[in-house]
Structure 1
Amino acid sequence: MGVRKLLVSILAFLSLSVFAFAQNFTLNLNAIYGPTSFHTQGAMKFAKLVEKYTNGSVKIVVHPGGSLGFKGPELLKAVKDAQVPMSDILMGVVAGSEHVFGISSLPRLVSNFKEARALYEDCKPLYEKAALKWNQKFLYAAPWPPSGLVTKKEIKSVADLKGLKTRTYDKNGAKFLRELGGSPVSMPWGEVYSSLRTGVIDSVLTSTESAKNGKFWEVLKYFTNIYYAFPLNMVTINLDYWKALSKEQQKAMLKAAKEIEEMQWKNSKDRYFSAAKVLEEHGMIINNPTPELEKAMDKAAKKIIDEFMSKAKSKERAVLEKYIK
């Protein structure tokens, strides 16, 4: 009799487990960077964890390099309207649609990974609320290594920035360089290398990781550690797709998201140093800004942060006031 009860209990448990993951889903995830980018690699690992934790009932197919046709400012709307179920999104690029997403790319607001993580944790409830407004569930976010200036000539002073045609990744970066006398240029990442080759641009505001992936040592010589920002990439899922998942599937996806978020924050820090080493091995010179340049950058940054604060909601201002130096 005891054995029979045990078997009944086991069968009941298995039935409940099967029911919890009864409906199978295959979800496309748009990744805006190529397969070698650590953000894309993180999304791929996330997909594997989700499949594992949902017993194979949820499969996420990652499409690198924006191959689904979605690459920039339209991504919030694309996920909102379910043109793509999930996407990796560079927050600063969609800040024109949702102000709060511009916080992580505010210039020189934080100067190290510890401060960047604290800022993220303070802002996370705001990011989650903003995602809901755009009909999507915020899953996780992680930073790029700090942005620097990758140039053909050495940058020692503001005079060296005058007229410099620099590819930037969002409006904050464009305003920052314009304040310093530069000529910011907006373009898809896929066009950057050829534009450097042809002289359409002559510098890039980006991380050591991106400079490494882009093989910028073939066209540029210097990387200046200006610690411009630690811009965040987030992964979201359309809210209707999210609600279609069972509670167990949702729980499993959030578990995977938490693990990947921790892993990606660590990876970002590790990639900063390992990528810098690769750049130096290929002949690039990595240096720090002069005191004169530091002073000019802080002045330009303050103007942009003040402008951002003037348009910020009370909760955004309350967070930022903790970090404004």
Structure 2
Amino acid sequence: MKRLFQATALAFVCVTSTAAWADPETLKVLGNFTGNKKQVELVEQPFFTGLAKETGISSKVGYSPMDLVNVKAADALRLLKSGAFDVASVQIGLVARDDPFLEGIDIAGVATNLVDQRKVVAAMREAFDREVQSKFNSKVMTLWPFGPQIMFCKKEIASMDDFKGTKVRTFTTSMATMIEGLGGSPVTLQYGEVYLALQRGVVDCGVTASSAGNGGKWPEVTNYLLPMAVSSAMQGHFINLDTWKQFSPEQQEKLTAAFNKMEDDMWALAANIDDDATACNTGKDSCKEHTKYTMTLGTISAAEQARLKAVVSDKVLPEWGKSCNAVIPDCAARWNATVGKAMGYEITAK
């Protein structure tokens, strides 16, 4: 009887252990906008198409770009938390409306190139992941940039003074504060809404990556390209924690490695496509991989860049810190200890 009991108990442990690691039957993936052709067609879609084979999971992966299923980017984390999707491509600046701490990874004007942006990500990654797990029951799998976010304008912007009275499409709170600090009027629009807004005069300028603007045909409705990088438009892929816990530790390790590779591919893509997209938007002979247009390329002097940085220090950071602290009391302190320390900034109470 003792041996029978032991055998039965062992069998029960084996069965329950196996059941604990049962792969989800379907992995519902919310992808990025199809208009972001390079990121979606070259990296994201092939990644998810081959994910099961690459990692050995038995789940059927269902991939749906958010614009094809009529999902607004700002709702991605809510839908992930609710379980409507298991994995989501997240535009961090937009979902930060639900948690302002998340915008700290890409505050307008703090990192104006990809090298600095990677320093920001390295400094904040652990704190960022803890926040996402706590507030949205989700885990960070990738963090990556679309690339330098510049301005497509209908009118010429020759100096910071030209922003006065100008309506500019923005997509983060800190970016809106920056435009206000320059005397402009920020207008929050989703990427897919910007073309018509520019065409109809709802906005005078739109902020996006050079490649994204090219893919969205923004040069058809704008004339001037201002290469003033105000952010990197940080993105991420997050997985619902309940879904994540259904995979065995070995599967989690394989999934982590696969997502790490996709993250590296996205960073490399951001670095490689910006120059070509700018050349194509402005009709240069060096244009190779994007649609060629005839926009005029503007310039920003060192003095004008300094004026922009002053707005960041005097207005953007204090305003962001104040609003974030109102929701999360230690928000600015946590940012100072991570990004601020890495980049030489400090948000002080005003």
Structure 1 CA distance, aligned partners of 2:32 and 2:119?
A: 26
Deviations 1:7-54, CA, capped at 9 Å, x for gaps: xxxxxxxxxxx9998646321211241164333333213313421223
Structure 2 CA distance, aligned partners of 1:300 and 1:254?
A: 39
Look up the SS of the partner of 2:242 in the other structure. Answer: helix
Is 1:112 aligned with 2:113? Answer: yes
Look up the SS of the partner of 1:254 in the other structure. Answer: helix
Corresponding position of 1:51 = 52
Look up the SS of the partner of 1:73 in the other structure. Answer: helix
Q: 8 Å contact 1:100–1:126 — kept in the other structure?
A: no
Corresponding position of 1:323 = 343
Corresponding position of 2:328 = none
Q: 8 Å contact 1:21–1:55 — kept in the other structure?
A: no
Is 1:284 aligned with 2:295? Answer: yes
Pair 165,181 (structure 1): closer, same or farther in 2 beyond 3 Å: same
Q: 8 Å contact 1:50–1:59 — kept in the other structure?
A: no
Q: Aligned partner of 1:78: which letter?
A: L
Deviations 1:231-251, CA, capped at 9 Å, x for gaps: 210111111111122333222
For 1:165-180, list aligned pairs within 5 A.
165-180=167-182
Is 1:308 aligned with 2:320? Answer: yes
For 1:199-210, list aligned pairs within 5 A.
199-210=201-212
The equivalent position to 2:155 in structure 1, one of 149, 153, 156, is: 153
Deviations 1:107-143, CA, capped at 9 Å, x for gaps: 2212322111111111110121112111011111110
Structure 2 CA distance, aligned partners of 1:25 and 1:38?
A: 30
Deviations 1:158-202, CA, capped at 9 Å, x for gaps: 331111111111111111101111111112222111111111112
For 1:132-281, list aligned pairs within 5 A.
132-133=133-134, 134-281=136-283
Q: 8 Å contact 2:57–2:251 — kept in the other structure?
A: no
**Range with greater deviation from structure 2 (99-108 or 179-188):** 99-108
Structure 1 CA distance, aligned partners of 2:308 and 2:106?
A: 14
Q: 8 Å contact 2:174–2:320 — kept in the other structure?
A: no
Deviations 1:83-113, CA, capped at 9 Å, x for gaps: 2222111111122222331123312212322
Q: Aligned partner of 1:156: which letter?
A: A
Is 1:296 aligned with 2:307? Answer: yes
**Range with greater deviation from structure 2 (139-148 or 38-47):** 38-47
Look up the SS of the partner of 2:304 in the other structure. Answer: helix
Q: Aligned partner of 1:34: which letter?
A: T
Q: Aligned partner of 1:150: which letter?
A: F
Structure 2 CA distance, aligned partners of 1:44 and 1:21?
A: 26
Pair 19,274 (structure 1): closer, same or farther in 2 beyond 3 Å: farther
Q: 8 Å contact 2:77–2:95 — kept in the other structure?
A: yes
Q: Aligned partner of 1:305: which letter?
A: L
Structure 2 CA distance, aligned partners of 1:219 and 1:35?
A: 16
Q: Aligned partner of 1:163: which letter?
A: G
Structure 2 CA distance, aligned partners of 1:146 and 1:208?
A: 8
Q: 8 Å contact 2:158–2:299 — kept in the other structure?
A: no
Unaligned runs of 5+ in 2: 1-17, 284-292, 326-330, 346-350
Structure 2 CA distance, aligned partners of 1:156 and 1:24?
A: 54
Look up the SS of the partner of 2:140 in the other structure. Answer: strand
Deviations 1:188-243, CA, capped at 9 Å, x for gaps: 22211111111111210111011111112211111111121112101111111111
Identity fraction in percent: 23
Q: Aligned partner of 2:306: which letter?
A: K
Corresponding position of 1:121 = 122
CA drift at 1:272: 0.8
Q: 8 Å contact 2:119–2:342 — kept in the other structure?
A: no
Corresponding position of 2:28 = 28
Count, aligned residues: 308
